[in-house]
Amino acid sequence: MSHAHVKPLEPGIILSIEELSIAFGGIKAVDNLSFQIKEKEIFGLIGPNGAGKTTAFNCITQFYAPNHGSIRFLSKKDETVELTQHKVHEIIGLGLVRTFQNVELIRELSILDNVLIGAHIDYKTGLFNAMLKTKKNRKEEEALKNQAMDVLKFVGIADKALWPVGGQPYGILKKVELARTLMCSPRLIILDEPAAGLNDIETLGLADTIRTIRDEYNCAILLVEHDMRLVMDVCDTICAINFGKFLAKGSPKQIKENKDVQVAYLGTKEDLV
């Protein structure tokens, strides 16, 4: 499929959002947002409730079509692509994978099967090979199953591989979703509120896991998150938004001391009285 020519990204940048805007029935959910993510960077996107974080990242992953703006991404093949020119199911093939805040797993399937869904695009054999269980298909299946078990070991739940997803505690489900994203050797993983529903200990463990993923899988991570401790702890760069608009960007220390961010989260002195 040939796409309109896309201006290549600067070296070291893997995602560049420019003037991203989307409105729902007159309300601008995301308003002229721009930021860039570097290679192997852990990047946090924060903002109070309703700031437009989830909408922004649904736009990036093409679940919503933005009204305006461009989203350039350095694909796994080292080509710059314009994400808005691609369909939602093509995104993972380019090297961008996401998790879901509401943990979207298939309840009736096992944990292993759910993780294998993450490898769907790696299967080269088709329908007939699958039905007849040809040698080619069996080899593929075995190789990817081994890879899935490795990933499950990495997140620490390999012993539960054959258990059904339905009925598992929330913490395990989040790990399964995380494991699923690692199957495709992504360039960028977007985590949608990964700390939601986790307790303090689990959140600390999550911070470690995020750092280890970045190191071992050589990918960048975009974190859309509420939990400030996790964000401050693990992110290299943070971008804060409010009412869909860009507010501030910088290191965790800079963001913490930024007056606009403080006002957005805590209100002004007048509001507190």
Partner 1 sequence: MTMKTLLAKIKAYPYLPYISLGLVLSLIPTLVYFDVLRSSYVTLIGAVMIYTIVALGLNLLLGWSGLISLGTAGFMGLAAYASAYFTVNLKLPFELSVILSIAIPVAISVLVGLISLRIEGLYLAIATLAVSEIFRKTFAEFDFITNGFSGKSAKYPTLLGFFKLDNTMTYLLLVIVMVLIMILIHNLINSHVGRALNAMRGSEAAAQAMGIDLLKYRLVAFALAIALTSVAGILYVHFIKYVEPSKWNLGLSLNILAVIIIGGVRNIMGTFVGAFVVFAVPDLVLKQIPYFGKIANFAYIVNGLTIILVILFYPSGLIRVFTDARIAFNKFIAKTRGKTA
Partner 2 sequence: MGSQYYSVGGCEVSTFVQLVTRSLETGSIYALAALGIIIIFRTSSITHFAQGAMAMFNTFVVTILFTKMDMPLWMALIGGIISAVTTGFLVDFLIIRHTKKVSPVAKQIITLGLIMVFVGVIPMMFGVEPLNLPQFFNTGDITFLGAKISYNGLFNISFGLIIMFVLFYILQNTKWGLAIRTTASNEVVARMMGVPTKKVTMAAWAIAAALGVIAGVMNAPTTTVTPNLMDSVQLNALVACVLGGFQTFYGPVLGAYIIAILQNLFAYYFSSTWGTQLLYIFILVFIVLRPHGLIGKKVIKKV
Q: How many residues are listed for the chain in this entry?
A: 273
Q: Is 22 helix (H, G, I), strand (E, B) or coil?
A: strand
**Which CB, 176 or 231, lies closer to partner 1?**
176
Contact between 113 and partner 1 (CB under 8 A)?
Answer: yes
24 binds, among partner 2, partner 1, none (CB under 5 to 8 A by kind): partner 2
Contact between 196 and partner 1 (CB under 8 A)?
Answer: no
Contact between 97 and partner 1 (CB under 8 A)?
Answer: yes
CB 81 within 8 A of CB 16: no
**Residue 61 Cβ vs partner 1, minimum distance, rounded to whole Å:** 7
* CA–CA dist 242, 14 (Å, integer): 24
Among 180, 187, 214, 249, binds partner 1 (CB under 8 A): 180
Token pair of 170 as six digits: 């929330």
140-145: list long-range contacts, CB under 8 Å, 24+ apart.
144/116, 144/119, 144/183, 145/112, 145/116
124's CB contacts (< 8 A; 6+ apart) are 140
Contact between 107 and partner 2 (CB under 8 A)?
Answer: no
**CB count in 10 Å sphere of residue 114:** 22
Contact between 143 and partner 1 (CB under 8 A)?
Answer: no
How many residues touch partner 2 (CB under 8 A)? 5
* CA–CA dist 251, 73 (Å, integer): 22
Token pair of 273 as six digits: 């009285």
Contact between 117 and partner 1 (CB under 8 A)?
Answer: yes
Contact between 100 and partner 2 (CB under 8 A)?
Answer: yes
Token pair of 270 as six digits: 């007048």
Among 93, 197, 205, 250, binds partner 1 (CB under 8 A): 93
CB 159 within 8 A of CB 67: no
* CA–CA dist 21, 34 (Å, integer): 10
**Residue 135 Cβ vs partner 1, minimum distance, rounded to whole Å:** 13
89 binds, among partner 1, partner 2, none (CB under 5 to 8 A by kind): partner 1
Binding mask 28-67 for partner 1 (x = CB under 8 A): ---------------------------------x-x----
Binding site residues, partner 1, CB under 8 A: 61, 63, 87-93, 97-98, 100, 104-109, 113, 116-121, 123, 125-127, 130-133, 137, 141, 180, 184
